Structure 1
Amino acid sequence: MPRDLVHGHLIPGEISPTRFVPDLIPRPEYVGKPAPQPYTGGDIRTADEISKIREAGKIAAAAIQAVGRQIKPGVTTDFLDKIGHEFVISHGAYPSTLGYRGYPKSLCSSVNEVICHGIPDNTVLAEGDIINIDITAFKDGFHGDTNHTFIVGETSEEISQLVSRTHEAMMRGIRAAMPGRQVNIIGRSIEAYAKRFNYGVVRDFTGHGIGQAFHSGLIIPHYDSAPHYADEIKVGMVFTVEPMLTLGTHEWDMWPDGWTVTTKDKSLTAQFEHTIAVTENGPEILTLFEGGLA
């Protein structure tokens, strides 16, 4: 089990071989390349494009549901990757993370002190752990991106509150995304709420524009970045809101794999994410699945 036996912190584990994707499923352009092509488009999506992002987002959300049903003590994060991978490809979509800048798996599994981008491996989940599952699906040329933090079995009230409050922070950020405002209102809303509980708010990993590109140039901070990040929120914009809150510092370390980000003080951290479209009446969440996780 890849954990530090002295402190119980996560350490790198063994990564299984790359999973197979049928040839008939279209790949994003970056698969097999060191990096995606530079994005040169704008931030506004047409109604047809938003419809396609919504369809991809529903697949990603349903895949997270399928993975969530398998989360329990004794399960490995690699097994969860298998569940997510098979669900996405069974719906004719491509798991966007697989091959993105060399990322080796079909979802991100971030356990306990891992802020984001944890690589599924032979880590065994234990009672009281928390785990974030981040899945993006690529269908009909568009990506839909979402994530959810799950509690493994039973945990403490402090940790349970961190998880539920991180979800509420995301929803507050989403509700703030009204046309005519600046994107920094989203982070201001998130941080104002998180500060009530003395949570750390991760700054260096942000929400992003999404569509035909997995990540466009639009940046959505989750902290109070005013007066910076002053892009106007406009009808037709599509982007993610995905705050990461911690029980300690917002500072972080990176593992040698170049992906796994952990809190510098090893405090626990939770995250939630939705892809949203901005309408005349406000934000619409595109990564919902009927009867599923909000």
Structure 2
Amino acid sequence: MKKFRGIFLKNEQEIRILREANRMVCTILDALGQAVRPGMETMALEDIAVAMCKEFDVQPAFKGYHGFPYALCCSVNEEVVHGFPSSRVLKEGDIVSLDMGVIHEGFYGDSARTFPVGAISASATRLLQVTEESLMRGIDMVHPGNQLYDVSAAIHEHVRQAGFDVVRRFVGHGIGCRLHEKPEIPNFVPKGMPGVPLKVGMVLAIEPMVTMGSSEVEILDDNWTAVTKDRSLAAHFEHSVAVTEDGPCILSVR
């Protein structure tokens, strides 16, 4: 494994393992999305995620990570990220963001999606659509020779044009044999920060977190769950993406 500016560049074999790890995450998120419905406790989603990890014979990436107590990050409505599965019952019109990771052969898979719970409002539907679109706009910029902040700018511009905002406290990251590697991938362009050219072999977990209101967040008393300060709805989508000579290769798809 080579390094560039402290960033690990993966070879073909390492990317193959990362692809398999992320395929498993994709399969788990597919199952979770099919299970989401009004009237269910969010802990039931945790149970599905844990059972599928056992089926795949992989370790959940988040459970125990810096003390996080669950396999699944489950964040409802104004919860942005790092929410706990619990006895909370999902209601018609809610949205629920599910962030899942696994460890396979020493490498991490990581992906997230936000799902509607039954029929949701037009504004919530638009929030989910714009957030996922912004992720894809960012991924479109993942080409060797482009700058990392080209990804950030594409995400932020699409979100801004839709009248929403991006959370600044949490950012995307490199991923490989550690869950969080260099570089950090903000969903906005930081002022005064030097750019990083994208190189073949980089693997990036790109994850816009978008709010309908203020971009400011606060942490609840559980010391993990991040919520919008104004309690506006938030959505979160994430893919793990390899930089190849031909451009982006999304690993967290079937």
TM-score bucket (shorter structure) = over 0.9
Instruction: For 1:1-294, list aligned pairs within 5 A.
Output: 42-225=7-190, 227-228=192-193, 230-289=195-254
Distance 1:79 1:229, change over 3 A: farther
> Aligned AA for 1:86?
A
1:43 and 1:218 in contact (8 A); partners too: no
> Aligned AA for 2:138?
G
Shift of 1:229: 5.0
> Aligned AA for 1:204?
R
1:73 and 1:126 in contact (8 A); partners too: yes
Shift of 1:226: 5.2
Give the Cα separation in 1 of the matches to 2:194 and 2:244.
20
2:7 and 2:202 in contact (8 A); partners too: no
- Secondary structure in structure 2 of the residue aligned to 1:97: coil
Aligned sequence identity (%)? 39
- Secondary structure in structure 1 of the residue aligned to 2:103: strand
Residue by residue over 1:4-29, the C-alpha shift from the partner in whole angstroms, topping out at 9 and shown as x without a partner, is: xxxxxxxxxxxxxxxxxxxxxxxxxx
After superposition, the CA RMSD in angstroms is: 1.3
Shift of 1:225: 2.3
Give the Cα separation in 2 of the matches to 1:51 and 1:226.
36
Give the Cα separation in 2 of the matches to 1:197 and 1:175.
18
Structure 2: stretches of 5+ with no match in the other structure: none
Give the Cα separation in 2 of the matches to 1:223 and 1:89.
37
Structure 1: stretches of 5+ with no match in the other structure: 1-39, 290-294
Aligned residues: 250
> Aligned AA for 1:277?
A
> Aligned AA for 1:285?
I
- Secondary structure in structure 1 of the residue aligned to 2:89: coil
Shift of 1:42: 3.6
- Greater helix fraction, Structure 1 or Structure 2: 2
> Aligned AA for 1:142?
F
- Greater strand fraction, Structure 1 or Structure 2: 2
TM-score by length of 2: 0.96
- Secondary structure in structure 2 of the residue aligned to 1:250: coil
TM-score by length of 1: 0.83
